[in-house]
Amino acid sequence: MKVLVTDPISDAGLDVIRDAGHEVVTDYESEGSDLLNAVADANALIVRSGTDVTKEVLEAASELVIVGRAGIGVDNIDIDAATDQGVIVANAPEGNVRAAAEHTVAMAFAAARSIPQAHARLKTGEWAKGEYLGTELNGKTLGIVGLGRVGQEVAKKLDSLGMDLVAFDPYISEERAEQIGAELADLETVLGRADVLTIHTPLTPETEDMIGEAELAEMEGGYVVNCARGGIVDEPALAAAVEDGIVAGAALDVFAEEPLSADSPLLDVEDVTVTPHLGASTEAAQENVAVSTAEQVVAAFEGEPVMNALNAPSIDESAFPRVEPYIELAETAGKIAVQLLDSRVESVEISYEGDIAEEDVEIVTASALKGVFQPLEWQVNAVNAPRIAEQRGIGVSETKRRQAEDFQSLVTVTVSDGEEAIGVCGTLFADDDARIVRVDGYRVDAIPGGKMMVTRNTDEPGVIGHIGTVMGKYDVNIAGMFNARETDGGEALTVYNVDQEVPRGAREELESDPRIIETKYISLNG
């Protein structure tokens, strides 16, 4: 597999990829059409903030499996376009958390104690001791906008220094906030109470310019620290607020446009401290994010879960061995069910019974959808299968039941066209031996194989022999047969494993016999 790296990362990450047997190509200069050419045959793309992974780039990369972001922010990656293309997008949120949090704390102290300003004056020979009266953080209130990984780490560090914590984050529970020692409040309340405001949200349409002139006016002499993403704070408004004394000072490591323009109003205000996006710039952080990103690329190549995937199902590493065998089983059940239905799919239900119902099955459900849509779509995988369901207007539901009749675990995929529904149920025997144990309500014990035929016929002597004769006539070898029936003399269903495709002529000849109600040929390999 070819891995294209378009922004510099630590050699430790590149070594992980090479040690796994994959090719690494570094190209730090390409952009525009050169980038489109470079990515055309890449199986993975690793970037930092310097490469814009646009829809055009993704469409040019027909072999792409994963885009890895060596860091946290992914606003330079078109995740929707990646999802449509079935490309995993993963970041490395843990690798630089400590570094970013430590830089935030340093910037808070720098702003509160005017450290850069006093340093600059002393370097020019001025002993300006009497001109700087700092603010102690102990006993003050820290306002946190965004209580994610970095926000929580900053909260822990400054809580231990005696600050009170109040946070705005609509996506975190009060219980979790209490565990951290923070009080949840709305943004207006946080702004009004904060002596120091620190920001830790991604840049989205909702958060762009979230802290503007009106919000800064609520702070009354506080300090603003932003080491998250540029564009969340209105920079001209912040410069004006500090210049006018509304805000006592500010410290920023990130900017709406980087590098920061020489005519930025932030540079004209003495009490604004700026650093050139150094939050993750420690040797340990750079190595951590590179290794984490590389490991996720290798996992994607090997069909294993990508732990920090942003647009694909993920699962805890410790739980994966328990769930892994059901991934292929669910996909197979989905393929069989949709080919048996043989009409427009209106809804899909995936049900879990027994031990499997206790697990995180998001990745299994996505695989079941992949199986359902694979006969209908040219390019589908577990990444874009949920999106395909949404685009096609297909309802998807998931149910769980802790008890499973006769089996330790069961996975059932049911597809419906609004009138007829077909369910295919699978389980695992010893040594993860996959079995289809129910088809359309019939109990069977079928081994799912590459080519299969399912027949429904009256349960009477000679029918199976006739089917075998017709198959032989068309040079189709029967490798296995699994029979089930409703009642003695009623209807029967038989699953045949076959070595060759069953020609349409063979099926038409079979269905011309009044004893044979229906035949369906199923391919699991394409």
306 in any annotated domain: no
Which pLDDT belongs to residue 253? 98
Which pLDDT belongs to residue 343? 83
> Greater confidence, 190 or 281?
190
Residues 14 and 155 in one domain: no
Residues 375 and 458 in one domain: yes
What is the Cα gyration radius of the chain? 30
Smallest CA-to-CA distance from 155 within 370, 226, 147, 70 is with 147
Burial profile 304-331: b = 16 or more Cβ within 10 angstroms, e = fewer? ebbbbbbbbbbbeeeebeebbbbbbbbb
- In angstroms, the CA 271 to CA 273 distance is 6
Indicate if the pLDDT at residue 378 is higher than 60: no
- In angstroms, the CA 238 to CA 270 distance is 13
Phi, psi of 265 (to 5 degrees): -65, -20
Cis peptide before 259 (omega within 30 of 0): yes
The set of residues, in sequence order, having a beta carbon less than 8 Å from that of 263 and lying 6+ positions away, is none
The domain total for the chain is 3
As a residue count, the chain comes to 526
Which pLDDT belongs to residue 113? 97
307 in any annotated domain: no
136-159: pLDDT as tens digits: 999 999 999 999 889 999 999 999
311 in any annotated domain: no
H/E stretch holding 321: helix 320-341
312 in any annotated domain: no
431 Ramachandran zone, left/alpha/beta (phi>0; psi -120 to 50): left
Indicate if the pLDDT at residue 51 is higher than 90: yes
Residue 168's alpha-carbon distances to 97, 199, 208, 416, in angstroms, are 19, 10, 16, 44
Longest dimension (CA), the chain: 108
103 in any annotated domain: yes
Indicate if the pLDDT at residue 526 is higher than 70: no
- In angstroms, the CA 298 to CA 32 distance is 27
- In angstroms, the CA 233 to CA 215 distance is 10
Which pLDDT belongs to residue 89? 95
- Give me the amino acid identity at 139: G
313 in any annotated domain: no
437 in any annotated domain: yes
Residues 288 and 377 in one domain: no
User: Are 459 and 490 spatial neighbours (Cβ–Cβ below 8 Å)?
Assistant: yes
Residues 294 and 330 in one domain: no
Residues 78 and 126 in one domain: no
Helix (H, G, I), strand (E, B) or coil at 185: coil
Residues 328 and 451 in one domain: yes
The set of residues, in sequence order, having a beta carbon less than 8 Å from that of 359 and lying 6+ positions away, is 319, 322, 323
User: Are 67 and 87 spatial neighbours (Cβ–Cβ below 8 Å)?
Assistant: yes
- In angstroms, the CA 107 to CA 298 distance is 36
pLDDT over 70, % of the chain: 99
Q: What's the CATH code of the domain at 391?
A: 3.30.1330.90
Smallest CA-to-CA distance from 526 within 365, 409, 380 is with 380
The set of residues, in sequence order, having a beta carbon less than 8 Å from that of 466 and lying 6+ positions away, is 510, 513, 515, 516
Which of 361-370, 425-434, 475-484 shows the lowest per-residue confidence on average (mean pLDDT)? 425-434
309 in any annotated domain: no
Question: CA-based angle 184:188:190, to the nearest 5?
Answer: 45
Residues 232 and 195 in one domain: yes
256 confidence band (pLDDT: 50, 70, 90): very high
Which pLDDT belongs to residue 331? 94
Q: What's the CATH code of the domain at 186?
A: 3.40.50.720
431-455: pLDDT as tens digits: 688 999 999 989 999 999 889 999 9
Helix (H, G, I), strand (E, B) or coil at 336: helix
Which pLDDT belongs to residue 308? 84
Indicate if the pLDDT at residue 380 is higher than 90: no
Residues 115 and 199 in one domain: yes
280-301: pLDDT as tens digits: 889 999 999 999 999 999 999 9
Residues annotated as catalytic (active site), given as ranges:
229, 258, 277
Mean pLDDT of 378-393: 80
Residues 78 and 129 in one domain: no
Domain that residue 367 falls in: 320-523
Residues 211 and 129 in one domain: yes
72 confidence band (pLDDT: 50, 70, 90): confident
Mean pLDDT of 211-222: 96
Average pLDDT, the chain: 93
Indicate if the pLDDT at residue 379 is higher than 70: no
HEC per residue, 369-409 = HHHHHCCCCCCCCCCCHHHHHHHHCCEEEEEEECCCCCCCE
Residues 80 and 101 in one domain: no
β-partners of residue 516 are: 457
Residues 367 and 380 in one domain: yes
Which pLDDT belongs to residue 172? 85
The set of residues, in sequence order, having a beta carbon less than 8 Å from that of 370 and lying 6+ positions away, is 331, 334, 380, 381, 382, 385
User: Are 128 and 122 spatial neighbours (Cβ–Cβ below 8 Å)?
Assistant: yes
